[in-house]
A and B are shown apart, each in its own frame.
Chain A
């Protein structure tokens, strides 16, 4: 049977469902549901890390393997640097560009290296917007409290205060680069309300906020005298032998050769982990989101935080195949879109929190009430045509043009037919522990953006990641530059790697996995 035939049930049950109201889960049932079905509570998916700064801490198996993995760098590699700079930025997304531009503006010589092209990142895909407290009825304090509530009270207060207070000046900086934020008729910045926020606070560039930011930042990096190395993947950090970071080893992906960059300060802006497909989940993340920064920093001795919690967005596309894992915006549920299982029944209040909605979708599918596509993926329906039924023809087209367009590419009309969705791995809530200047536990090693941890607690609020990477890109770039321009280059050694390898050998796990992963392996091999 084709998906098109299965969806008839959604049309047939629509009238009856319209009148139905589903209550939100009471606290006790909600906890039971989450503990039973939310991926963060799948005990079998977790294990303790065997050694290193987070020895004994639980994380998902996929990440634990990589953290304990061996470096591809041979112990006797010639470390004579191919480049020597003040500040080395690793990663070319929003955080990397922000860090590079601010370090350059402070007078540092900057080299930005990235394993794909400049701008290939999760930033470019961000649709929702950037949270900045500028509305009259809003304040940085309110932004702080909303974020803390969303993060289950586990956010680092100092990092969070810095982020919300610097939001408005970041918006001014971006406007000064030519970013075209949406405006109200009086010329002020337009703000939208985002999930989990008590006040309208999202700055947007239609539904292309990330694309617009990335286009502008990328162009600005190219306009400055910032040295750029694309298709250059960081595979190991270097230290002076006394715990200070002094550079990195890269693999040039075009000729497979390794080379070294000496730097007085290093900024890791390597992003998240979606492409590890934790617990087999599809992901909304870009091709290079393989958690490289976590493994590099960990081998050098940096402590990681909250690496046992990940965000699964409830509504990732399942069908058509081409959109697998891509986000279907939360706004559709906010405006009345209902979730419907394979038997034509609703099963959750669609406006419950992300963890509850995700858990209930997983429950439906695991208990056999899902729908399976031709390529074997499971999902439930999101009744999109209901929006036009409830609010009048043309509502979807008007409020969600990008979403309508996205499906139209595959000859699917979401104003007429429902879409299949399933939770998709979206964001790494934790990461490398940093201070307010973005410095990790390792001297002169800075971390910015999704690779860092602590700011978002156990659940990131919509719209906070774009602000996070702008603010901590700026702070790490600024601090790294002012420090680097006033000090000599340290020695380049692999001493930490010798120690790491000895530790792995002692525990009998040497050489089983090589990390960082760099890319997911999707290529089909001969069987």
Chain B
């Protein structure tokens, strides 16, 4: 909210460079633009007048829509980032990553008979990893992706499910794989299978469901739903 006019300039603790942001030069998909230093890669696209809808999702680092390749000044190393969570700096070059046509296996997760063996039918390329580590290098979330693929292959689905909890499914690990593995999809399969087939059922949840079905709370509901607003207010006010 900008209500700048109404501020007492003597009290307001301001920064000198508010009105004159430092401009930097960046290269977006091969073209040079002047943009304010420190804005995000996505904002640099908007700032340079581009309309973007493919490649933007949650704008908070969770959805993986904005996978981007970038390189900093004079460094030959091409790195990956999420464009919503990366600040631009002078001399940076970047391009958003187009969707990659990875193959997702189709399965009915609840009907699998031997999920650890089924992995090799659903994703037969999974055990062909040649340990190049490019997937791990490509992960903007810092997951040890290569290790995760091997753990899935060796049936340690539990570790996979823990390692990939912060996977945003950006898919940057996929195009770099020389064995055509989609590590994020393999991990998602293994994590779901772990949840459905290997984690124990929580006993108390089942008993609560049965209580509700058997009408254990029926009399409390009857009493409550007959109350008028002042009475309900009183009940609510008494909650600690």
Q: Which residues of A contact B (CB under 8 A)?
A: 1-3, 6, 115-117, 119-122, 124-125, 133-134, 136, 139-141, 144-146, 148-149, 153, 157, 161, 165, 168-169, 171-172, 175-180, 183, 187-189, 198, 205-206, 208, 210-212, 214-216, 218-220, 222-223, 231, 253, 279-281, 284, 286-287, 320-322, 326, 342-343, 362, 365-366, 368-376, 378, 402, 406, 409-410, 519, 522-526
Contacts and interface: CB of A to CB of B under 8 A. Distances in A.
B217 A140 contact: yes
Given A120-B65, A223-B107, A322-B84, A157 B7 contact: no
Nearest to A406: B61
A187 B46 contact: no
A148 B232 contact: yes
Contacts of B38: 320-321, 374-375
A410 B15 contact: no
Contacts of A180: 161, 165, 191, 194-195, 199
Given A141-B220, A219-B188, A366-B6, A188 B84 contact: no
Interface string B207-231: 0110010000100110011000100
A286 B202 contact: no
B8 interface: yes
B61 to A, nearest CB: 7
Interface of B: 1-4, 6-8, 11-18, 21, 36, 38-40, 43, 46-54, 56-63, 65, 84-87, 104, 106-110, 161, 165-169, 188, 191-196, 199-206, 208-209, 212, 217, 220-221, 224-225, 229, 232-233, 235-237, 239-240
28 contacts: A116-B65, A120-B58, A120-B65, A122-B58, A124-B62, A124-B63, A134-B205, A145-B239, A171-B205, A172-B205, A180-B194, A180-B199, A188-B205, A211-B166, A286-B57, A342-B12, A342-B13, A362-B1, A366-B6, A369-B11, A372-B14, A373-B18, A374-B38, A375-B18, A375-B38, A375-B39, A523-B46, A523-B50
B192 A117 contact: no
A188 B60 contact: no
A159 B47 CA distance: 44
Contacts of B229: 153
A385 B193 CA distance: 40
A368 B7 contact: yes
Contacts of A362: 1
A122 B40 CA distance: 20
Contacts of B166: 208, 211, 402
A253 B209 contact: no
Contacts of B203: 187-188
A206 B85 CA distance: 21
Given A120-B65, A322-B85, A372-B14, A286 B58 contact: yes
Contacts of A206: 165
A362 B1 CA distance: 10
B49 to A, nearest CB: 6
Given A145-B235, A215-B167, A1 B87 contact: no
Contacts of B191: 178, 180
A222 B185 CA distance: 12
A188 B167 contact: no
B210 to A, nearest CB: 9
A183 B60 contact: no
A499 to B, nearest CB: 32
B192 to A, nearest CB: 3
Contacts of A519: 53
Q: Which of B60, B85, B204, B233: most chain A Cβ within 10 A? A: B60
Contacts of B195: 175, 177-180, 216
